[in-house]
């Protein structure tokens, strides 16, 4: 079928009559339709009753909430700070807030191709250093806040964003290494990817947290947050390397041969001809890895770091607002969904961008 024929089929909108036909004819279809509709609408009504009608938005005490019976959104109002910032000192909340906005801003900016210039890399390096200084302080006007007090959103956003940004260059090297003609390099990169992909992230984090200080002479001095960051970078790099290698494999051999026949040296063939195309092809897979890594950061609770999810668990364990699990977890779920969805939209826009260019 030609492209024209396909778009003609797609453009034909299904009519109401066709919908009805599919849903109610023959009779077993009707039965299933009615049953499914009943279950879904019952669930929806109950959800609305809990989340809106019976919910409490401005209760002063948990007992007011319990009396109302529905969702207790005032719990979030009272304890949002624990979920978002963990144990960070309240008078310094502007610092984690600024850090999160800085990182998210740069992340959004990085999704626009017009901004893909060398300075973007410098901007990321500057943001990494800036966030670390802003969070830990130690300058005049910025009191010292040890990493043991960090928590919540800055950890989740920082560890996942910096993790992927640092893993990206590493993964390009590994992906190129796996296609290398030099046996040692190829075997090392193969082994790296296979070993890391064969380990659960939980185990990698646990090793980074507990074995590192024993195995390295200076390991005891490496901060816990930094250890988690290193573990995440090493872990994501293996997955990203595979995403990029799939892109490299998809670039027709003719491309590099043509470039070579024009007299380009090997390094430039990779840099100017193969990698840009490979990157474009691998983009959905790269963003996919990123989205996964955001959710993977919740595992840092196993090494005692408090991410957004850990913050939520803390907020419902403080005695006063105990037991409102649903509300806290829904809020955290909504935050994660928002991040991941923004990234998805970004990825889709980028793909369309590339597709337009190719036409």
Q: Determine if 87 is a binding residue for another protein (CB under 8 A).
A: yes
The minimum distance between CB 42 and another protein, in angstroms, equals 17
Among 114-122, 126-134, 203-211, 335-343, the segment contacting another protein (CB under 8 A): 203-211
Structure tokens at 358: 């190719």
Segment 165 to 194, residues that bind another protein, using CB under 8 A: none
Q: CA nearest 343: which of 280, 281, 289, 299?
A: 289
Tell me if 83 sits within 8 A of 100, measured CB to CB.
no
Please say whether the beta carbons of 286 and 192 come within 8 A.
Answer: no
Binding residues for another protein, rule CB under 8 A, total: 49
Q: What x/- string results for residues 118 through 157 when contact with another protein is judged by CB under 8 A?
A: ----------------------------x-xx-x------
Is residue 234 near another protein by the rule CB under 8 A? Answer: no
On the question of a cis peptide bond just before residue 125, with omega within 30 degrees of 0, the verdict is no
- Which positions ≥6 away from 280 have C-beta within 8 Å? 247, 354
Q: Among 48, 109, 203, 250, indicate the residue that binds another protein (CB under 8 A).
A: 203
> Rounded to whole angstroms, how far apart are CA atoms 289 and 126?
24
Q: What is the distance between the alpha carbons of residues 308 and 189, in angstroms, rounded to a whole number? A: 34
Query: Which residue among 97, 224, 255, 298 contacts another protein (CB under 8 A)?
Result: 224
Residue that is written with structure tokens 């893993």 in the block? 167
211 contributes a contact to another protein by CB under 8 A: yes
Per-residue tokens: 111: 């999704």
* CA neighbours closer than 13 Å in the CB half-sphere of residue 292: 13
What is the rounded distance in angstroms from the CA atom of residue 45 to the CA atom of residue 51? 10
Give the separation between CA 200 and CA 296, rounded to whole angstroms: 11
Cα dihedral across residues 335, 336, 339, 341: positive or negative: negative
User: Residues 21, 143, 169, 200: which binds another protein (CB under 8 A)?
Assistant: 200
SS3 178: helix
Residue 91 or 357: the one with the smaller Cβ distance to another protein is 91
Among residues 59, 73, 76, 79, the one that binds another protein under rule CB under 8 A: 79
Binding mask 26-65 for another protein (x = CB under 8 A): ------------------------------------xx--
Based on the shown chain and the rule CB under 8 A, indicate whether residue 213 belongs to the binding site for another protein: yes
97 binds another protein (CB under 8 A): no
Mark the segment that binds another protein (CB under 8 A) among 12-20, 124-132, 263-271, 298-306.
Answer: 298-306
Q: Applying CB under 8 A, does 86 fall inside the site for another protein?
A: yes
* Span near another protein by CB under 8 A; candidates 20-28, 79-87, 233-241, 330-338: 79-87
Quote the DSSP letter at residue 92: G
Would you tell me which residues interact with another protein (CB under 8 A)?
Answer: 62-63, 66, 78-79, 81-82, 85-90, 146, 148-149, 151, 200, 202-203, 206-207, 209-211, 213-215, 220, 224, 301-306, 310-311, 313-320, 322-323, 325
């Amino acid at each position: 079928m030609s492209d024209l024929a396909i778009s003609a089929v797609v453009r034909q909108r299904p009519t109401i009559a066709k919908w009805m036909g599919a849903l109610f004819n023959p009779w077993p279809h009707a039965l299933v339709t009615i049953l499914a509709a009943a279950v879904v609408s019952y669930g929806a009504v109950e959800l609305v009753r809990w989340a809106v009608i019976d919910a409490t938005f401005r209760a002063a005490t948990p007992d007011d909430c319990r009396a109302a019976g529905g969702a207790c959104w005032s719990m979030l109002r009272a304890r949002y700070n624990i979920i978002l910032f963990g144990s960070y000192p309240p008078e310094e909340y502007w610092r984690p807030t600024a850090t999160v906005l800085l990182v998210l801003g740069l992340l959004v900016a990085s999704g626009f191709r017009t901004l893909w210039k060398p300075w973007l890399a410098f901007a990321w390096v500057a943001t990494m250093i800036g966030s670390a200084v802003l969070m830990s302080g130690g300058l005049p006007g910025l009191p010292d806040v040890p990493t043991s007090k960090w928590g919540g959103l800055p950890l989740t956003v920082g560890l996942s964003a910096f993790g992927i940004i640092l893993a990206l260059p590493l993964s390009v090297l590994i992906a190129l290494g796996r296609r290398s003609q030099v046996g040692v390099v190829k075997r090392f990169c193969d082994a790296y990817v296979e070993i890391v992909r064969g380990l659960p992230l939980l185990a990698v984090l646990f090793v980074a947290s507990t074995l590192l200080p024993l195995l390295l002479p200076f390991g005891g001095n490496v901060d816990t947050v930094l250890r988690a960051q290193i573990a995440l970078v090493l872990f994501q790099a293996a997955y990203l390397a595979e995403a990029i290698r799939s892109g490299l494999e998809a670039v027709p051999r003719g491309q590099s041969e043509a470039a070579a026949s024009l007299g380009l040296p090997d390094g430039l063939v990779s840099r100017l001809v193969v990698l840009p195309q490979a990157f474009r092809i691998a983009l959905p897979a790269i963003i996919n890895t990123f989205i996964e890594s955001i959710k993977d950061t919740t595992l840092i609770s196993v090494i005692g770091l408090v991410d957004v999810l850990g913050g939520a668990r803390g907020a419902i364990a403080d005695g006063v607002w105990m037991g409102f699990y649903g509300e806290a977890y829904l809020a955290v779920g909504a935050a994660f969904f928002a991040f991941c969805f923004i990234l998805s939209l970004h990825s889709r826009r980028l793909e369309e961008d590339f597709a337009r260019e190719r036409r």
